Amino acid sequence: SRAYSLVDSSQVSTFLISILLIVYGSFRSLNMDFENQDKEKDNSSAAGSFNGNSTNNSIQTIDSTQALFLPIGASVSLLVMFFFFDFFFFVFTICTAVLATIAFAFLLLPMCQYLTRPCSPQNKISFGCCGRFTAAELLSFSLSVMLVLIWVLTGHWLLMDALAMGLCVAMIAFVRLPSLKVSCLLLSGLLIYDVFWVFFSAYIFNSNVMVKVATQPADNPLDVLSRKLHLGPNVGRDVPRLSLPGKLVFPSSTGSHFSMLGIGDIVMPGLLLCFVLRYDNYKKQANSDSCGAPGPGNISGRMQKVSYFHCTLIGYFVGLLTATVASRIHRAAQPALLYLVPFTLLPLLTMAYLKGDLRRMWSEPFHSKSSSSRFLEV
């Protein structure tokens, strides 16, 4: 079929990796909620009282005001990078490398915990004012630093993808959408932002701002330092320019082109997937507490069993496939959120309305009542 001919191996790799990142990031987020509940329960038992307002300070919840102004802030950042990238590329590169190091260490942490569990206790090692860390945390951070250094030296696209994966998972795990109203505000604003900067920015700035910023390489910090410190013509001059890990890229089977997907097109729908996964878990616990009370009478039992997470994840896949086919048909970059937002939000809103959950999901923050059910069926 024509649709199949418009999707090559690089697009298939992008589909699979982006879906795996969203699923993994969502479940890391849910697991963090369970761990925080356990810690709060232990702290309340030790103190003899429960403080229901205690939260993890590392988790950022987006409210309505932030959702409205985030596309504006993203537009300002895009313009700064478009006009002043040559002046601030060193700052951009260093900040990106630091963030990518921390995010990739977070991505590697479960694997390092599994590897270090048999041979070392989970006691934390003190490093003075730097804090206390477990052996798994030190191992994951060391591996992350090593990978970033190799990426700086080689500039290989596969290492850049690994760092971008870490950024995606960390952002999905540490950022929360509290309600469906905030989700709709955020994704609708970012849809307008994406469409404007991809389709209409060329009429104002004589260039596609989004594409230029996403594909513009930065000078290697080693090359810059060697020139600033006058280390000689052969020191640090053979390192490649770096493409910053703000996207996933995969080469085609022929090597003639790369398939590219911005991490915002993974993270923003991923936050919605994370929200509905937490709501599915909340609803499952509520139903178990009410001894399995049936849903509305006009909804079939089969539809009641379909989770919001499955519905939204399928919508994400269909939207990503549609965006890819559209880009190949028009032979031009497409704003992925133009396809991802309708294919994820509209089925979710429809299903929530039919199941009778729309009002609660729209405006009411929800919290798991207990951590007795740590695993959600998928």
Active site residues: 194, 265
Contact by Cβ (8 Å): 56, 33: no
Q: How far apart are the first and last CA of the chain?
A: 31
Cα gap 368→378, rounded to integer Å? 18
Q: What single letter denotes the amino acid at residue 320?
A: L
Alpha helices in 117-238 (DSSP H): 135-154, 157-174, 180-195, 201-205, 209-215, 221-228
Handedness of CA 191, 194, 199, 204 (dihedral sign): positive
Strands 247-251 and 258-262: antiparallel
Strands 175-176 and 60-61: parallel
Could you give the angle at which helices 180-195 and 64-116 cross, rounded to 10 degrees?
100
Rg (CA), the chain: 23
Distance of CA 239 to the CA centre of its chain: 29
User: Hey, is 247 helix, strand or coil?
Assistant: strand
Cα gap 283→365, rounded to integer Å? 13
Question: Which residues share a beta bridge with 242?
Answer: 218
